[in-house]
Structure 1
Amino acid sequence: MPSISRRGLNMPESPIRKLVPFAEAAIKRGIKIIHLNIGQPDIKTPKVALDAVKNNNLEVLSYSRTEGAESYREKIAGYYANNDIHVAAEDIIVTTGGSEALSFAMGSITDAEDEIIIPEPFYANYNGFANATGIKVVPVVSHIEDNFALPPIEEFEKLITLKTKAILICNPGNPTGYLYSREEIKKLTKIVKNYGLFLVADEVYREFTYDGREHYSIIQEEGLEDHAIIVDSVSKRYSMCGARIGYLVSKNKEVIKTAIKFAQARLSPPTYAQIAAEAALETPKSYFEAVKEEYVARRDILISELSKVEGVVAARPQGAFYCIAQLPIKNADAFAQWLLEEFNVDGETVMVAPAAGFYATAGLGTNQVRIAYVLEKEDLIRAVYILKEALKAYPG
């Protein structure tokens, strides 16, 4: 009988999606689920983006350019300029979601068995893309006690080998909500320049920063032009997760030239989604101001409610819309499954994402969960109440 590849067998399950069968079974039993597990915003997609698709007059749905429509890339460059990030259209490749941009970046700068250093916990799919490309994730641990701040640079230096090709960060962070400061970016700049490494930054949550803090992009750092690669996406910015449009951005011409070859192999990004995403760039600033205000209110309610639950420790997010909470349990995977299979309060339960899947170091995060606060405030209050009651009843 033919055998499955080791790469396929080693491909990690999504900590966000692997519990879906248990959720579906619960729904069939009549249980209502409050979803804290996935970062699908409930904010409405800008009408201008939806109307652009609805009202277009295409007669042939053709391929676009491999690197994305020129008019769209020009407007993306304008968007970045408005955020004090100065790049040209030729520095941008439009991709099928930020996921493809990350895949192109990894493929362009690493060979099999090369290494990328990533502060953990990190976006779970980094593990998946590393496995798919045959490279090794080398984690450097950040801690909930420090709100998941950048680990000391000395910890990065200990991990650098001849196989190290890059440091990868998510800023603001998924799953932590941590926002790296300008000073922390400068520390990373120094180390990648000293060791001849790339610095890859997943900046898809750029708009979502709180408490007066501002996002500082790695491309804003002078002298980092040959080292910096941005992964970006419209998914969360405009509540357009289903559009699957992202970008890879770099001033390093060799990186772009190489990434385009990977892009040519998949032909082109989706045409209708580019139409919607290009139109979304006309979204007024007031949209983001209202969205940020809403997420701050949701964050504050979530953290306040979690602080009332005995034994729970929660990091305070500074950006994005995720929170890591440490629970008084041994195994968050078992707890999350139990919530769906065996527990409810008046016919309702909650679905969380076990945090161990956001770590590369075995044994870390086993008593933590990621919570996405993309729900109405009343739903968040109800969800934390159910969580509190669940912890009282949980046999583990």
Structure 2
Amino acid sequence: MPQVSQKGQLMPQSPIRKLVPFAEAAEARGISIHQLNIGQPDIQTPQTALDAVKEADIDVLSYSHSAGFLSYRQKLAAYYGKQGIEMDANDIIITTGGSEALMFAMGSITDPGDEVIIPEPFYANYNGFATASGVTVKPVISSFESGFALPPISEFEKQITDKTKAIIICNPGNPTGYLYNKDELNQLSELVKKHDLFLIADEVYREFAYDGLQHNSVLNQREIDAHTIMIDSVSKRFSMCGARIGCIVSRNKELMATAMKFAQARLSPPTLAQIASEAALDTPQSYFDEVISEYVDRRDTLVAGLEAIPGVRVAKPKGAFYCIAELPVKNSDDFAQWLLESFEVNKKTVMVAPAAGFYSTPGEGLNQVRIAYVLKKEDLIEAVELLKEALSQYKD
């Protein structure tokens, strides 16, 4: 019998999606599930984006340029300019989601056997992208007590070898909600300059910074223009996860020419979704003001509810719409599965993402879960009550 690849066997399961079969089985039994496991906002997609697709005058649904529509890239450059980030349309390649942008970045800067350093916990698919590229992730653990702030630079330096090609950060962070400050980015800038590394910043949650804090982009670290690669996406910003439109952005011309070869190999990003994404850039600031206010209210509701549960600790997020919670359980994988298989109150239960899958260090995060506060406030309140009851019943 033909064998699948070793790389395929090593590909990690998604901690976010691996429990879906258990959720489907629960729903088949008539159980309603509060899904706190996945970052799918319930926020309305801007009407201008939806209308652009409905009103598109298209006779042939054709390929676009491999880099994406020039008009979209120009408009995207102008959007960054309004945020104080001077970019040219040629510094941007439109991708099929932020995921493809990360794959292009990984493919453009690494060879099999190379290494990337990532502060953990981190977005679980970074593990998958690294495995697909034959690259080893070297983790640097950030602490729950610090709210998952940037670990000491000395810890990064301990991991640097002649195989190290990049440091990857997510800012604001998924799964932690941590927002890196200017001083932390300055420290990373000095490090990548010293060791001649790339700094990849996943900034798909850039709009969502709370408590008067400001998002700081790596693209504003102008002294390391040759080192910086920014990943972006419309998925969370405009509640357009299904559009699958992102981009890779860098002022490094050689890097972008290399990424362009990967873009040409997959032909082009989806045409209709680019039409929607370009139109979404006309969304007024009032939309984001309302969304941010809503997320802050949801965050505060969730954190207060979780902290009121005996034995639960929460690292309060400063951005994005996730938090990491420590639970009084030994193994959150088992607990999350039990929630779907064996627990319900009035035909309702909760789905969470076990946090161990957001670490690459074995044994880390076993008693943690990632919770996405993407549900309405009343649903979050009910979900927390269900979680409280579940923890009172659960036996490791």
Q: TM-score normalized by structure 2?
A: 1.00
Cα separation, 1, equivalents of 2:370 and 2:56: 39
Whether 1:259 and 2:272 are equivalent positions in the alignment is no
Q: Which amino acid aligns with 2:205?
A: Y
- Give the 3-state SS of the residue equivalent to 1:71 in structure 2: helix
Please give the alpha-carbon distance, in whole angstroms, between the structure 2 residues aligned to 1:144 and 1:385.
Answer: 24
The answer on 1:222 being equivalent to 2:222 is yes
Cα deviations by residue, 1:171-193 (Å, 9 ceiling, x for unpaired)? 00000000000000000000000
- Is 1:381 aligned to 2:381, yes or no? yes
1:345: how far off?
1.1
Could you tell me how far apart the structure 1 residues matched to 2:143 and 2:345 are?
33
Q: How far apart are 1:353 and its partner, in Å? A: 0.2
| SS of residue in 2 equivalent to 1:144 | coil
Q: Are 1:288 and 2:307 counterparts? A: no
| 1:357 corresponds to | 357
Counterparts of 1:358 and 1:245, CA distance in 2: 23
What is the CA–CA distance in structure 2 between the aligned matches of 1:144 and 1:59, rounded to whole Å? 54
3-state SS, counterpart of residue 216 of structure 2: coil
Which residue number in structure 1 is paired with residue 11 of structure 2? Answer: 11
Structure 2: gaps spanning 5 or more residues: none
CA RMSD of aligned residues (A): 0.4
* CA drift at 1:221: 1.0
Superposition map of 1:231-250 within 5 A: 231-250=231-250
Q: 2: distance between equivalents of 1:307 and 1:368?
A: 14
Query: Residue 117 of structure 1 aligns to a residue in which SS?
Result: strand
2:32 aligned partner = 32
What does residue range 28-177 of structure 1 map to in structure 2 within 5 Å?
Answer: 28-177=28-177
CA distance in 1, matches of 2:139, 2:395: 32
CA–CA distance in 2 between the matches of 1:234 and 1:190? 30
SS of residue matched to 2:48: helix
Q: Using the TM superposition, give the Cα deviation of residue 68 of structure 1 relative to its aligned residue in structure 2, in angstroms.
A: 0.5
Q: CA deviation at 1:4?
A: 1.1
Matched residues in 1 for 2:194 and 2:215: separation?
24
Q: 2:310 aligned with 1:310, yes or no?
A: yes
Aligned counterparts of 1:289 and 1:197: Cα–Cα separation in 2: 36
Q: 2:45 aligns to what SS in structure 1?
A: coil
Deviation at 1:135, TM superposition (A): 0.3
1:210 aligns with 2:215: no
- Amino acid corresponding to residue 58 of structure 1 in structure 2: I
Structure 2 partner of 1:323:
323
Per-residue deviation, 1:346: 1.2
Letter paired with 2:327: L
Q: Could you report, residue by residue, the CA deviation over 1:41-74 in whole angstroms, capped at 9, with x for unpaired residues? A: 0000000000000001011110000000100000
State the distance in 2 between where 1:307 and 1:2 align: 52
Q: 1 CA distance for matches of 2:291 and 2:224?
A: 32
Pair 1:335 & 2:328 matched? no
In 1: Cα distance, 2:247 partner to 2:318 partner: 24
Shift of 1:350: 0.1
1:338-373 CA distance string (max 9 Å, x none): 000000111110000000000000000011000000
Q: Secondary structure at the match of 1:391?
A: helix
Q: Which runs of 5+ in 1 are unaligned?
A: none
CA distance in structure 2 between the aligned counterparts of 1:69 and 1:305, rounded to whole angstroms: 45
Residue type of the partner of 1:3? Q
Distance 2:327 2:218 in 1: 34
The one-letter code of the counterpart of 1:170 is C
CA distance in 1, matches of 2:217, 2:234: 16
Q: Decide which moves more: 214-223 or 198-207.
A: 214-223
Aligned to 1:368: 368
In 2: Cα distance, 1:338 partner to 1:159 partner? 37
Distance in structure 2 (CA, Å) of the matches to 1:313 and 1:86: 41
Q: 2: CA distance between counterparts of 1:395 and 1:191?
A: 46
Flag as ranges the 4+ runs of structure 1 deviating above 2 A.
none
Equivalent residue, structure 2, for 1:178: 178
Q: Deviation digits for residues 239-266 of structure 1, max 9, x if unmatched? A: 0000000000000000100000001110
Partners in 2 of 1:385 and 1:77 — Cα distance?
45
Q: CA–CA distance in 2 between the matches of 1:13 and 1:369?
A: 16
Q: Secondary structure at the match of 1:323?
A: strand
Per-residue CA distance 1:206-240 (angstroms, 9 max, x = gap):
00000000000001012111000000000000000
CA shift at 1:33, angstroms?
Answer: 0.4
Q: Which residue identity does 1:295 align to in structure 2?
A: Y
Cα distance in 1 for residues equivalent to 2:56 and 2:261: 30
- Write the distance in 2 (CA, Å) between the matches of 1:330 and 1:6: 31
Partner of 1:193: 193
- 1:127 and 1:56 map into 2 onto residues whose CA distance is 38
Amino acid at match of 2:151: P
Quick one: distance in 1 between partners of 2:224 and 2:293? 33
| Number of the residue aligned with 2:300 | 300
Letter in 1 for 2:274: Q
Q: For 1:16, give the aligned amino acid.
A: I
